[in-house]
Amino acid sequence: MPRLLAFILFVQALLFGGAVHARDNYLELVVTRPYLEMHTGPGRGYPVFYVIGRGESVTVLYSRTDWYRVRAPRGQEGWVRRNDLAATELESGEPAPIPPYPDFSAHRWEIGAGYGVYNRENLVTSYLDYGLTDSLDVEMVLQQAFGTLDNRTIETIGLRNTIVPEWKWFSPTVGIGMGHQSVSDKVPPAPLESSNELAYAGLGARGFITRRFMWRFDWRAYVVFNQLNKSEVLEEWKFGLAVFF
């Protein structure tokens, strides 16, 4: 029994300590407009259940998409729209440090996935992309193609140039790179070679959708280096959705 009590006390101390510690790290903002509306949920349809008046302070706990979970001076917790919170100020009078969305034309990281057709096979593709400059990116692609005779796993690394990065909704891209494919047979006979090196050149386009969301379209021609007499040229196209940071 004393052990249990000690355990409970220990857990409570941990929780309380954590809470106290965490409270120190939250952002405190002052409402400068006539009022700040608190919604019951992080969505446009959730009703307003509480209003924080001008001059009162508000504690920002965390964010989810475009919404911020806040605590009112009297302890009520609810969700505030991003634009409303951005209109508040720090105690010092500076504007609230609500981070802006990354600029699409100058973002650094992209991670995405999509559907495509590789050598007339269904393709599931995923990629990670890092922008060296606004127009030149390094992209790593991992994808799986499902055919009637064989399945293939393809990994590539390459460079991609966005021709006009300032064009937001539609901007063409060109790319080159190299990679590797491994082939596993589905139906006998087994493929002549189970793995090959390959190189590609491609054309594509990208565009902004909303917030951190974007689309990609790519067409690629692959040259497969094999030991056979004839070099193999494969074609691929794919469409994907991605998130950028």
- The whole-angstrom separation of Cα 245 and Cα 243 is 7
93 touching other proteins, by CB under 8 A = no
Q: Which structure tokens are listed for 95?
A: 């504007």
CB of 210 to other proteins, least distance (A): 6
Contact stretch for other proteins (CB under 8 A) within 22-30, 157-165, 189-197, 218-226: 22-30
C-alpha to C-alpha distances, 152 to 139, 145, 199, 202, nearest whole angstrom: 20, 5, 15, 19
Which of 33, 54, 180, 186 touches other proteins by CB under 8 A? 186
Dihedrals φ, ψ of 148, to 5°? -80, -30
| Size of the residue set binding other proteins (CB under 8 A) | 43
Three-state secondary structure call for residue 75 = coil
Contact stretch for other proteins (CB under 8 A) within 42-50, 167-175, 219-227, 228-236: 42-50
Which of 11, 15, 90, 163 touches other proteins by CB under 8 A? 90
88 and 27 in contact (C-beta within 8 Å)?
no
CB of 227 to other proteins, least distance (A): 25
CB of 148 to other proteins, least distance (A): 9
68 touching other proteins, by CB under 8 A = yes
**Residue 30 CB-half CA count within 13 A:** 9
